[in-house]
Amino acid sequence: MKRLRVAIDGPAGAGKSTIARRVAEALGLLYVDTGAMYRAITWTALQEGVDPSDAPALAGLANRVHLELRPEGEGARVWINGRDVTPFLRDPRVTRAVSAVAGVPAIRMRMTELQREWARRGGVVMDGRDIGTAVMPEAEVKVFLTASLAERAKRRVEELRRQGHACDPDQVERELAERDRADTARDVSPLVRAPDARLIDTTGRDVDSVVREILTLCRPFLRGEGE
């Protein structure tokens, strides 16, 4: 069984989930999308009428809900209290509120605990903002993916349109910049590159070449693991 742990961090729209999923698939590892966990909690808060800026109420919610990540196919689905909430995670209302929710220390503590359980088992590719710095600093391979703001906004617009959400490109770019700012400026586990993470700028690069670059980084650690 493979024990390799791959941490992929970076700002919104840098290509993390597409690339992390492809790397996991190529190596037969589990893909854990930690952004989906923060989105699931945010969606639940909105459903229950909890204000995303009400930290004590969010802390209560984090301790009350049962969040499960169920691997399926190439990814995983997120269940909250026995309900599959995966279809709601990309809702623009969730995207707008998620940074505030992810900045609440009690929420981060709970999510980090769950993510470390996956990390302990090994054999994972995990993507997020604090994976290489806080969740699994001991990961064998760490990558920090970036791309220009304009390129990331363009990708987000295409993704939203594919999913049938109408959107204004200027607003998407503004919201992305605001989310970067909030994710980078927060006190607990901010978005920051781990000193030992490989920096990869995906601007103008195709997915295949980035996946190949990461697989090359993984190769030395797979010797003796059945590769």
Contact residues toward ligand DC (CB under 6 A) are 12, 34-35, 38-39, 98-99, 102, 128-131, 179, 183
Considering the complex, state which of residue 17 and residue 215 has its C-beta at the smaller distance from ligand DC: 17
Contact 43, 94 (CB under 8 A): yes
Rounded least distance, CB 17 to ligand DC, Å = 7
Rounded least distance, CB 102 to ligand DC, Å = 4
Considering the complex, state which of residue 35 and residue 122 has its C-beta at the smaller distance from ligand DC: 35
Rounded least distance, CB 88 to ligand DC, Å = 13
- Return the HEC string of 85-101: CHHHCCCHHHHHHHHHH
Beta partners for 201?
Answer: 146
Query: Judging by DSSP bridges, how do beta strands 30-33 and 5-9 pair with one another?
Result: unpaired
Tokens of 38: 């923060």
Q: Is 210 left (phi over 0), alpha (psi -120 to 50) or beta?
A: alpha
Considering the complex, state which of residue 196 and residue 227 has its C-beta at the smaller distance from ligand DC: 196
Contact 3, 141 (CB under 8 A): no
Considering the complex, state which of residue 64 and residue 116 has its C-beta at the smaller distance from ligand DC: 116
Rounded least distance, CB 5 to ligand DC, Å = 14
